[in-house]
Amino acid sequence: MMLRLKNSIGMVKECKVGFSWTTLFFGLFVPLLRGDLKNTAIMIGLGLLTLGLSWLVFPFVYNSMYIKSLLMQGFEGATDNDTTILVQKGFIVQPKTI
């Protein structure tokens, strides 16, 4: 499932939700090429601490780590459908309407 996030200046990023096949096959290069330096450092650090065993876990969690970091940087759902996906997957809480 694809998700589109945009920030206040109009930059749009497309993200996959769920398992990351690219991280499984290309590992550390995925966050590095996306410019996601924080998660790159996390992957390197945990890879060294676990002697590489964490590389088997990252394909399951990297896409959600990337989406959360984009949301922390001020990105939000580009459309109502994208916002609905963010709410359904638990990335954001749906605002209450009065």
Report pLDDT for 95: 65
**Phi, psi angle pair for 51, to nearest 5°:** 55, 35
CB contact set of 52 (below 8 Å; sequence gap of 6+): none
Domain ranges (residues) in the chain: 2-88
Can you tell me which residue has the tokens 């996306």?
34
Q: Which two tokens stand for residue 5?
A: 């996030």
Q: Residue-wise over 77-90: b if at least 16 C-beta within 10 A, else e? A: bbeeebbebbeeee
Report pLDDT for 19: 96
Could you list the pLDDT tens digit for every one of the 98 residues in the chain? 899 999 999 999 999 999 999 999 999 999 999 999 999 999 999 999 999 999 999 999 999 999 999 999 999 999 999 999 999 999 988 766 66
